[in-house]
Structure 1
Amino acid sequence: MSTEEGSTMRIPRSARIPASFAFLAAASLGISACAATATPPTAETTPAATVTVTATTTPTPESEPSEAPAPETSCADSTQAEALETALPQVEAYPDFPDLPWVAAEPDRETWDACAPLSYVVVTLEGGTASTPHHILLFHGGEYVGTATADAYGFSPEIGQLSDTLITVTYRYPLPGEPNAAPTGESVATFAWDAGTQSVVMDGDLPPA
């Protein structure tokens, strides 16, 4: 649109923005911006506190010391000779020679044991010979318990102590027609201490009567 030179250009009223409205708009924008920046950040989750519990153990009372074991009872403080003094009077006299006493066949040989369940001593008639009757006296814990057999047999027996509860006996005797100096007959028997019956048990053979 042309205008005459020197004339003033007029702006339509509808195109004018009131100053008060502009101020309010600017203020509104400022408030919005502040509101946006004023929003507090999301709070971080506070970790749960760790609680340390110290376990307490009730002390176990120490076991009372056990009583000291009783000392083992020592075996009787005696000798084979002393044991025979008690045992020999209990042995029956030999029928054919009732006046002859029984004596140790080998006085210097210690076969009696005060601690063993089963031990022995061989006895013969005083002043006898090789073929003279012999008895085997048996002992339990050093105490005399009797003769191995009811009868005494001639010739000295061979005895082996297999254990503290068992002995083996080999009897010699002459076969018919043999001289006493060289018998060849033989019988073997064992004698064992039986703890259950508290007695001596024999097994095997004996010389002929």
Structure 2
Amino acid sequence: MKSKALLSTNVLLAIAGVLTVVVAVVAFLVVRSVDSDEAKTAAPSTSSTGDDTPAAAGSPSANEDPAPAGTVPGAPAEAGGPIPSGATQISTIKKPRYGSPVAVFKVPSGNIGCGIESTGLQCRVSSYNKDKPYGLDRQGGAIDTITIKGGVADMSYHGSDVPPWAVGAYGADDRLTPQVVGYGQTVYYGQYVCHSAEVGLTCWDSTSGAGAFMARERTELFTATPASSTGANKCSSMTGEQAVAANVAKVPRFRGWAWDPRHASVENYDSCLALSWIVLPIEGPTASSPFQLMLFHNGEYIGTATERAHGFAPKVTRVDDSTIDVVWTWKRPGETTAGATGRSTAQFHWDQAADKVVMTGEEPA
């Protein structure tokens, strides 16, 4: 009996020991689980979305008050103002099958490339895609693209689209390589200006003054300084009807025929654009009667597109704020007015540096 009682006691003690170990293990796991959950709650997230990373929080795109242009280190003194007199127009212009022409260029290092259309400017800093100094956006892409559009400069994630300055951006036929803008050079296209320097690239809208200084180390957005704002392009107070009435007497008559300002096409006159136009007919015109093309810079009359007037109303289309394309129709020998097939094409561009209109192409003989 004594041996059986001793056995029972030992068994009970063993069971109690096992239970103690089990309870201790369970308690340890519970405590560890609680600690782990608290750590997850307290620790900063390392999610790849990047919108809560320290770098993303300091992104210039989140800056509600961009600095005035004159206070941005590295930006030239003229940043935020009108197109500098020494600036040259970008020479490499891509013409997509659909959409407006795009001027493309890169800086000598190749780290920054830009594309400029009549509606805005876009630049990308390649190193930002790797180094991610401004973090990631909500889509998980590096914030590497600077845009200037509608009078506002901003930073964002561009996405996986091929940039317009890349060869083949607009299909297999697009073999144009971007122009390389050397350090110390200033270029423009339409109202947008860019100055290349070893310290970085500065681009701005000459109308609104909004812009950005871009470099491998940082990008800083800016607005126009008060001085550059007052020096920006001014608009005339005249309407199209008033502009043609005030200047029609300056247009030489065609073989004694008077011009008819009452029936002039004034819908494309814009007193705030670098180049706009009015199509002027003679009195009592027919389909093949002569027309003249009156040109205006910021609403100020600067003369006719050509010295001679030409028959048939010209077809004029806008390329950008300072450039227009003109197509004239003319009759080949033996053709009727209705069947005229002759065409002559020219482009007119307001050259800010030269302070005049530059014509390329040809007018009818």
What's the counterpart of residue 35 of structure 2?
A: none
Contact 1:114 1:142 in 2 (8 A): yes
The structure 2 residue matched to 1:160, chosen from 317, 326, 331, is 317
Give the superposition deviation at 1:202.
Answer: 0.6
- Compare relative contact order (CA 8 Å, sep 6+) and give the higher one, 1 or 2: 2
Contact 2:268 2:276 in 1 (8 A): yes
Contact 1:104 1:122 in 2 (8 A): no
Q: CA RMSD in A?
A: 2.0
Instruction: Please list the CA deviations of residues 19-67 of structure 1 after superposition, one character each: whole Å capped at 9, or x if unmatched.
Output: xxxxxxxxxxxxxxxxxxxxxxxxxxxxxxxxxxxxxxxxxxxxxxx9x
Q: Which runs of 5+ in 2 are unaligned?
A: 1-70, 72-224
The structure 1 residue matched to 2:292, chosen from 126, 135, 140, is 135
Give the superposition deviation at 1:77.
Answer: 2.2
Larger radius of gyration: 1
The CA distance in 2 between the partners of 1:168 and 1:189, in whole Å, is 6
TM-score (normalizing by structure 1)? 0.61
Q: Write out aligned runs for 1:96-135 (5 A).
A: 98=256, 100-104=257-261, 107=264, 109-135=266-292
What's the counterpart of residue 249 of structure 2?
A: 89
Q: Aligned with 1:102: secondary structure?
A: coil
Which structure features the higher share of helix residues? 2
Give the superposition deviation at 1:104.
Answer: 4.4
Contact 1:105 1:122 in 2 (8 A): no
The CA distance in 2 between the partners of 1:182 and 1:150, in whole Å, is 26
Summarize the Cα distance change of 1:145–1:128 in structure 2 as closer, same or farther, 3 Å threshold: same
Q: Write out aligned runs for 1:1-209 (5 A).
A: 69=226, 75-95=235-255, 98=256, 100-104=257-261, 107=264, 109-208=266-365
Contact 1:192 1:201 in 2 (8 A): yes
The CA distance in 1 between the partners of 2:324 and 2:293, in whole Å, is 11
- Residue identity over aligned pairs, in percent, reads 37
Contact 2:271 2:300 in 1 (8 A): yes
Contact 1:116 1:164 in 2 (8 A): yes
Letter in 2 for 1:90: K
Give the superposition deviation at 1:75.
Answer: 2.1
Contact 1:105 1:124 in 2 (8 A): no
Give the superposition deviation at 1:153.
Answer: 0.4
Which structure features the higher share of strand residues? 2
What's the counterpart of residue 12 of structure 1?
A: none
Q: Aligned with 1:89: secondary structure?
A: helix
The CA distance in 1 between the partners of 2:265 and 2:273, in whole Å, is 19
Letter in 1 for 2:269: W
Letter in 2 for 1:91: V
Contact 1:135 1:152 in 2 (8 A): yes
Letter in 1 for 2:283: E
Give the superposition deviation at 1:69.
Answer: 2.8
Summarize the Cα distance change of 1:108–1:195 in structure 2 as closer, same or farther, 3 Å threshold: closer
Letter in 2 for 1:199: K
Q: Aligned with 2:353: secondary structure?
A: coil
